[in-house]
Amino acid sequence: MKLSEIVPEEFLKITENNDFKLYDHQEKAVNELNKNHNVIVAVPTASGKTLIAYIAIYKTFLNHKKSMYIVPLRSLAMEKYNELLSLKSLGIRVTISIGDYDVPPSFIKNYDVIVSTSERADSMLHRDPDILNEFGLFIIDEIHMISDASRGPRLETVISSLLYLNPEIILLGLSATVSNVRELAEWMNAETVISNFRAVPLETGIIYKHELIREDERVKLGMDDELKLIRESINSDGQALVFRNSRRNTEKYTEVLMGSFNIDNDVKSMNIPLDALNDKMINMISHGVMYHHAGLSNDQRSIIERLFKEGSIKVITATPTLAAGVNLPARTVIIRDITRFADGYSKPISNIEIQQMLGRAGRPKYDKSGYGYIYVSSPSMLGVAKSYLNGEIEPVTSKMDSNSLIRFNILALISSGIAKSIDDIKNFYNKTLLAIQKDISDSELTFESALYFLEDNKFIEENGNTYDATRLGKLTSDLYIDPVTSLILKKALEYDFSEELYLYFISKTPDMLPFNFREKDYDYIEEFLDRFNINDFSDESMRAAKTAIILNEWINEVPINTIAENFDVGPGDIQAKSSSADWISYSLYRLSSMFDKLMEHRLLQFNERIKEGVKEDIIKLIEIPQIGRVRARRLYDNGYISLEKIAGADKNNISNIFGFSSKLANDVIENAQKITKRYYRSNSLDSYKNQ
C-alpha cells in the first residue's frame, strides 16, 4: 500500500511529497486504526512508528477531534513537539504541556494536538475529566515505561482512566521493547502489530577476551578491544555511543578516548555560548569525544546533543538514561557495563534497558547497518550477555500497588468526581493492568486504609456511603502533590518564615528526591539541624538538610558551577532539584491561602526565587524574556534596578554590559517597555475600579 492511498495529497507535504510504500507493519496498524480499534505497535526503533502516529493524528483532526501524544520524559516531549510542528502546514495546531500542573486544562480548546508527559496528562484528568470529550486519540509512546517504578503508575493511571471514562477514545501504544504485548492488548482491548523489521538492520555481538563473538564467527580485536570497533566506525564517517553504568565512569572513559582517535576539532567555530562548558569539556570536544549524563546542566546537554547531531562529536560516552531520552542514534553502540550498583550490591541491568541501548545503533538515511556490541570481562558475565542477545525481554508489569500511590489515586478519583464510593474505586481499579496481573480483591483493605487516612487528615468527608473531597483535598489533588506533602507543607506554615527552614520542609516532602549525603557532609548538615533545633538525625532528615542548604545557595545567586563544585553534585542535579522545589514551593504558596493568607505574597516571591535562583531585588527583572539570573544581576549592578529604568535606557549603554549584544539590548528594552505598559494599564484599571 502506498501512502497516497490512505491519506490526501496535502499530507504528503510532511514527507516532502514522497509517496512511498508503507512497511507491512505500518499498513496493518493503519488498517486497524481505520476500523476504530485500539492498537499496540511493537517494532524496533527507527522502523516508522512515528508515521503511524502522524496518520492517526491527521485522521483524528479530520474528524474534528483532538489528539494527545504522551511521552515519559520532558526531553522527549520537547523533541516530539518540535517534530510534530511539521503538521502545522496541514492546519493542525500543536502545543506542549509538560509542567505547570495548576494550569486549568481548558487551554486545550485552542489546539488539535497536545504533547505531554504522563504526569501532566494525569494532572489534567485530576482537574477536569470532562476534557476527554474533546479527544479522539491518545498516543502512548514508550508504553513499556509502565514498568518504571517512578513514572509507570502515572501512565497506567492515565490509560486506565481512558478505559474507564471514555472507551470510545482510540489508544495507540508504541514501543520497541515489549514481550507481553498480548497481555497489554487484553488490558487495553487492543489489536497487536508485532514485527522484528528494522529500517536499518542491526548486527550484534559480544566483546570478550580481545575477540568479537558473533553468532557464527569470532573476530580477533587485539588489545584495543572496543576501541578498534569505534575507530573503524569513525574512519568510515560513522559515530559511536558508549554506555557506562555511572557518571564517574562516563567521564573517566571519555578521558581515555581523548587520545585514541586522530580528531582535531576547531572548537571556536562551533558556536558554543560563553562559559557554558568548562575547560575540560572544551578539551574533550576538541578531540571529538564527550560524555553525557544527568549531572550536566540543560545548556550543556543541549550543546553536546547538537554537536553530536552535527557530527563534530564522534563519540559520546553516556549513562543508560540517554537511551530512554533524546533520539541520538549512532552507527556503533558499545555497552561497556551490564551491571549497576543498587541496594548495596551489583545487579545486572534489565534486558529492556539493554535493548533500548542497542536500539540506538544505526542512523536512518545514513547507515546501511547498525552495530551493537556488549563488552564483558568474565565467563559469568559472558553468559549474561548471551542471554541478553538470545533471551526474552522482561514483561511489562504494573507498579500501581504501593500504599502511597493508592492513597494519591483515591484522592484524585474522589476529588475529580470519578469515584464517590469504595465500589466506584474498585470499579476503576478493575480497569488497570494491575487487575489483569494480580487479584486486586486483596487490595480492599488497602483501599479502606487509604480512605481512613484521607478522612482522618481532612482531605475527604464521608456522607453516608459516599465520599466528597474537602477544600484541602481538592486543592491537594489539583496541585498534583502527595497528600503527605500537603501535610508537611501545612506543618511548615506553623513556623515563622525562614528561607532555610522552609526549604528544609520542602526537601522533606515525598514529592522531592533529595540529595544523598556522604560522611564529609556531616559537619555542616548537623550544624544546620542544630541551628533550627531539629532533633531528627535520620537519613531522611540529613538528606533534606543537605538539599535545603544547596537550594539556599541557589536562591542567593551562588553560580551553579560553584555550588556543584562545593557540594560535589552536578549542575543538572541542582536544576532538577530546583525544578521540583519550584512546584512544591508554589504548592506551599497556594496552601497558604487556606491556612495563613498573610504569608501569600511572601511565599509567592519565595517561589519565584526558587524558580529562577535569584535574590529578591531582581525578581522583577527576570520577567523580561531572555533575562535569567546572570543577566538580571549584571543589569542591576549597572544601575538598571527596575523595569522602568530598563524601559527608558539607551540601547548603546546596555549593549556595553558584558554578555549583551546590540540586538539583545534592543530586545530587552522593547520587552521592558511592553511589560511596564501592561502594568500601567492593569494598575489604572484597578484604580478606576476602586473609585
Q: Tell me, what's the pLDDT at 551?
A: 98
* DSSP state letters, 256-311: HHTTTS-----GGGG-PPTTSS-HHHHHHHHTTEEEE-TTS-HHHHHHHHHHHHHT
Q: Tell me, what's the pLDDT at 503?
A: 98
CB atoms under 10 Å from CB of 639, counted, come to 9
Could you confirm whether domain 202-387 is CATH 3.40.50.300? yes
- 518-527: list long-range contacts, CB under 8 Å, 24+ apart: 518/568, 521/546, 521/567, 524/549, 525/549
- Residue among 47, 78, 95, 62 at smallest CA distance from 301: 78
All cell numbers assigned to 684: 489604572
What radius of gyration, in Å, describes the C-alpha atoms of the chain?
27
Q: Are 659 and 630 in contact (CB under 8 A)?
A: yes
Q: Tell me, what's the pLDDT at 458?
A: 98
Q: Tell me, what's the pLDDT at 686?
A: 57
Give the pLDDT confidence of 64-113 residue by residue, as tens digits.
Answer: 999 999 999 998 999 999 999 999 989 999 999 997 777 889 999 999 99
- Residue among 556, 503, 176 at smallest CA distance from 359: 176
Q: Is 139 helix (H, G, I), strand (E, B) or coil?
A: strand
All cell numbers assigned to 379: 565467563
**Which residues are CB-neighbours of 647 under 8 A, at least 6 positions away?**
669, 672, 673, 675, 676
> CA 402, 408, 412, 414 torsion: positive or negative?
positive
- Tell me which H or E stretch contains 118: helix 118-127
- Residue among 445, 513, 510 at smallest CA distance from 483: 510
Measure the CA–CA gap between 429 and 160, rounded to whole angstroms.
Answer: 8
User: What's the CATH code, domain 482-613?
Assistant: 1.10.3380.20
DSSP letter at 21? B
Q: What residue ranges of the chain have pLDDT lower than 70?
A: 17, 443-444, 684-691
> CA 454, 458, 460, 465 torsion: positive or negative?
positive
Measure the CA–CA gap between 549 and 93, rounded to whole angstroms.
Answer: 43
**Which residues are CB-neighbours of 306 under 8 A, at least 6 positions away?**
none
Measure the CA–CA gap between 488 and 69, rounded to whole angstroms.
Answer: 34
Q: Tell me, what's the pLDDT at 346?
A: 86
CB atoms under 10 Å from CB of 407, counted, come to 21
Q: Are 323 and 242 in contact (CB under 8 A)?
A: no
CA 325 to chain centre: 8
Decide which of 3.40.50.300, 3.30.360.10, 3.40.630.10, 3.30.70.20 is the CATH code for 3-194. 3.40.50.300
Measure the CA–CA gap between 670 and 110, rounded to whole angstroms.
Answer: 28
Average predicted confidence (pLDDT) for the chain: 93
Tell me, yes or no, if the pTM score tops 0.75.
yes
Fold match flag (3-194 vs 202-387): yes
Measure the CA–CA gap between 255 and 281, rounded to whole angstroms.
Answer: 10
Domain-wise residue ranges, the chain: 3-194, 202-387, 403-480, 482-613, 615-691
Q: Tell me, what's the pLDDT at 684?
A: 59
- Tell me which H or E stretch contains 463: strand 460-463
State the number of CA atoms in the 13 A half-sphere of 345 facing the CB: 1
The identity of residue 235, as a single letter, is N
Q: Tell me, what's the pLDDT at 689?
A: 45
Q: At what angle do helices 571-595 and 600-612 cross, to 10 degrees?
A: 170
User: What's the CATH code, domain 615-691?
Assistant: 1.10.150.20
Q: Tell me, what's the pLDDT at 275?
A: 83
Residue with cell 511596564: 676
Q: Are 297 and 576 in contact (CB under 8 A)?
A: no
Class of domain 403-480: mainly alpha
Q: What are phi and psi of 227, to 5 degrees?
A: -60, -35
Strand partners, 361: 330
State the number of CA atoms in the 13 A half-sphere of 81 facing the CB: 16
List for the chain the helix, strand, coil content (%; round to 5): 55, 15, 30
How buried is 520 (Cβ within 10 angstroms: 0-12 exposed, 13-18 middle, 19+ buried)? exposed
